[in-house]
Structure formats: C-alpha cells, structure tokens
A and B are shown apart, each in its own frame.
Chain A
Amino acid sequence: MELVCPAGSLPALKAAVDNGADAVYIGFKDDTNARHFSGLNFNDRKAQKALDYARDRGAKIFVAINTYAQPKGWARWQRAVDLAAELSVDAVIIADLGLLNYAAQRYPQLPLHLSVQGSCTSAEGLKFYHSELGIRRAVLPRVLSLDQVKMVAEQSPVDLEVFGFGSLCIMAEGRCHLSSYVTDQSPNNSGVCSPAKDVRWTQTEEHLESRLNNVVIDRYQAEETAGYPTLCKGRFAVEETIFHALEEPVSLNTLDLIPDLYAAGIKAIKLEGRQRSPAYVAQVVSVWRSALDSFANNPEKFSSKAEWMQRLAKVSEGSQTTLGAYHRPWQ
C-alpha cells in the first residue's frame, strides 16, 4: 500500500520524503485547498523545489485543490489546476465537480483523485466519477466502517485511498455545517473549520478557555490536555450535564487495521496534517513506514508495536487515538 503523507511547508515535505513517504500531498498558497492557513503551503517556486526534492528521491507529489470553487474566484481554481499541470505533478486531488470537469477536459493526461471532501461513499458514486470524469483514485471519507469499506472496495472501478492517521473528523466530509453555523466559514468553501481569526484562548485562574467567534468551545482544567477549537470537539451542556456532546479531542489511528485494509484491496493510506509541523510529519511518517514495512515483510505475524502507538499518541489531539468509524459493528 502506498503511504501518502501531508506537507504544509518545504521542511515538512523533506521530513515526509526522508522518513519514507511514497507520495506527498501539498496545497498552493490560497483558498483552493482545504488547509488554507496563514503562512502555510507552497508558492510556485516552493512547489517546484518540492517537486525536485521528491522526484530526486523517487517520491510522488499530489496537489490538493479540494475546496469548492466559488463563482467569484473561479479563475483562481482554474489557475491552480493549470499550475499543477504545468509542474506535471503526479496527481491532483479535487472535490468540486466543475473543477474535475475542467481538469479532465483541459488536461486529459493529468491523473485525477477524488478528494475526501467529495464525500463519495458508494461504488455507484465512484462509477459515475470514473466513467464521466476519468478519476483514477478516490479518498474514502472517515465515516465508513471497515465492513462498508470492504463493500465499496469490492465494486470500485478505481483505486481507493483511506485515512490512516490524523485528527478525527466525524462528519461525512464535505457535508459538515458545524463551522458555518458558528463562523460562517466551512472547510469546503474556505478551507478551514476553526478559522484562526475567530479563535481566542484565555487563561484564567481556574481554566484555559477556547472560544470560536465568541462561542465557548471548551474549558480545560490545569492538568487536562487541550484540543483544536472545533465545534465538533467542544464540551457543551446537554440537559445540565457538560460533556463532549459530539466527539472528544482525539486522533484517528488505524495502524491495527493494516492487514484488513490490505485484504480489502485498499491501495493507499493517507496521513492527515498539512497544518502540522515538520516534527509531526517526521514522527508520524516514520512510524507508518516501519509498520507498513513490517507488514510487507511478514504479513501473517503483523501486530502493531506498543512503541509505535505511544509515538503516535504523543502527537495526537487529546493525546489519545481511536479506530473511529472503522470499528462500528452496527454500521
């Protein structure tokens, strides 16, 4: 299985490649990608450098252009596809139908991957994207159980990529309205679910408080680990009990499922975290590389090592990990 790793900067890209990434996905420096954070991502010159570095070492580069194009900025999304094609990257990761169509018509040679933001969870959907737009791969949303992944994989006309590690997102990606509700911005349109300009952290005598557009998301006691200030991971009062009403701050980790995913015919594992540092990328990629290599060398005897799990927990939200939806027997 191919290991697809995130990079939000050139040093992160180098960390990914040096630690054994087969492919690295990057975004350009604007709102055409779903990690549009200040100071992050690649301008033309850096993208070229990234490509050279990766190619020299036998790694691929994918470019994520995975937000939904807006009428006002359509030229910007077109330009992003043009630039990716000019650089002759190994694939572009797109969610928007119109943009997929533009890329398919204009650059028939450019490999297209359907982004997780496209939120395609059925083989029928994949057949449509394949026959009409010629996508070669799709990234499955993190909401499917392992059995559902197997079912989709059995009939999928294209290669499938699934999430292996990263901040847990509990929505059918591409259909989350939580952040729009609080901040008027969404991952699909603005590339972020807790826009930094709306985030405030305040330390008081008793606790550390996070607010998103002035809505209290959480209050952490002195010894508690903190999380990202996203609405889905906040604590709220429901019938007088205050708790993580939607989800706890936690990261998804599917190291244990490598044999199952392989058996299901999954072609690639995606690690999340383009907003994270080179140190994070180095740590997560090296653990996953060791795990995939150990599985390839001896598939029957594979089991995840405690040391790997510890290293991943250390960089996880809330310092804990979960199998997420993959292990929902009722689903």
Chain B
Amino acid sequence: MIKLNPCQHILLPTVKGLAKSCPFPLQKKIAMLFLVPVFEEARLDGDLDFLRDRRIGLAISDIDYQATLRLENGHLALAKSTASEAPTDAIIRGNLSAFIQLANRSEDPDSLFFQRRLCIEGDTDLALEVKNLIDAVDLDELPKWLKQTLSLTQLVDKQFA
C-alpha cells in the first residue's frame, strides 16, 4: 500500500468530489479540450481506427471514477460509463498516482504493471493498443497551453513520489 501524504489527503477527496459532482456533458467537454489536440496526429495517421466500435475504460480506483472512451466522428471522446450503456471491451485500472505518472511519462506503464499498480481487464490486445497509442503521442507537437498543463501534472506527481 502506498502511504498517503498530507497533500494526497486533501487532493484525493477533492478530485473525487469534483469528478462526482461534475455533470457528464461538462466532463465530456473538458475531456474533448484535451483529447482532440493530444490525439490529432494519431487520428490523421489512421492510428485511432482500431477503436472503431470499441469502448475502453480507464478506472481510477482511489477516486472511484471510471472514464469510458470511444470514437465519435473519428475523434476520441468520453462516453457514458453507466450500466445502461454498452459494456467496455477492456479496462485499464489503477490509482490516480499511476495515471498521473503515465500522463507525464515519469513512469513506464509495463513497470507499473509489474509492480501491480496498473492492471488490464478484458481484451488485452485493445488495452495494449491504447497503451501504445498514448506512448506514441509526440509531446513536442502539442499546443503550448497543453504542454504547460502537462508540466503542472509533474508538480502533482511529486506529491506522490
């Protein structure tokens, strides 16, 4: 078990509260703000095609949140995760710290997996494709504001170190 430091004691419930209280359409808008530019190069290269008719879940255990992603008009978009919707084909599960370290590339996903901090359920092939898709995002090509946001996550990451 990773011990929580004081910052995390505040951070986790706050993020959890925010995620819970944020209505889905707003969540979707915010997600789109990031997803579209981050995966634009992949989309143009046809590297998102494997997601057609598939749904991938990212489950963040410690804040009790699951995001489901699918293609919408060729772009990666947030989909509803409720029970009435189609089930996900694969889920990548982990704590918030693992996802933050993934996003800013401070930890290697396979190592997180060996250490059991990330796990895959369902279609392994699909989950692996998503992992490789994220790995292939060229941060140098992102708009400046996004790069700055990512460097902010590095600050948060330090709280989990």
Spell out A's residues near B (CB within 8 Å). 8-12, 14, 37-40, 43, 45-46, 195-197, 199-203, 208, 220, 222, 224-227, 249, 275-280, 282-283, 314-319
A212 to B108, CA, bound (A): 23
Give the interface segment out of B24-32, B129-137, B143-151: B129-137
Quote the shortest CB–CB distance from A173 to chain B (angstroms).
20
Report yes or no: B136 in contact with A201, Cβ–Cβ below 8 A: no
In order of increasing CB-CB distance, the 6 nearest A-B pairs are A39-B132, A280-B108, A196-B125, A38-B129, A9-B136, A199-B124
CA–CA, A100 to B91, complex, Å? 42
Whether B132 pairs with A37 at a CB distance below 8 angstroms is yes
Chain A residues contacting B131 (CB-CB under 8 Å) are: 39, 277
Evaluate contact between A11 and B108: CB separation under 8 angstroms. no
| Chain A residue contacts of B136, Cβ below 8 A | 9-11, 39-40
A208 touches B125 (CB 8 A): no
B106: CB under 8 A from chain A?
A: yes
Residue in B45, B47, B109, B135 with the greatest tally of chain A CB atoms within 10 Å: B135
Contact between chains at A277 and B110 (CB < 8 Å): yes
Min Cβ gap A195→B in Å is 8
Instruction: Judge if B120 is at the interface, Cβ distance under 8 Å.
Output: yes
Question: In chain B between 77 and 121, which residues have their CB closer than 8 angstroms to a CB of chain A?
Answer: 105-111, 113-116, 119-121
Say what secondary structure dominates the interface of chain A: mixed
Residue-wise, chain B 41-70 has the 8 Å CB interface mask toward A (1 for contact) of: 000010100100000000000000000000
Check B129 against A277 for contact (C-beta < 8 Å). Answer: no
CB nearest neighbor in A for B93: A203
Known: A10-B138, A319-B114. A279 touches B45 (CB 8 A): no
A227 and B110 CA atoms in complex are apart in Å by 9
What CA separation (Å) do A195 and B135 show in the bound complex?
19
- Whole-angstrom distance between the alpha carbons of A60 and B142 in the complex? 26
Per a CB cutoff under 8 Å, which of B116, B121, B125, B140 touches A38?
B125
Q: A39-B132, A197-B124, A226-B113 are in contact. Are A203 and B119 (CB under 8 A)?
A: yes
Chain A's closest residue to B116 (CB) is A226
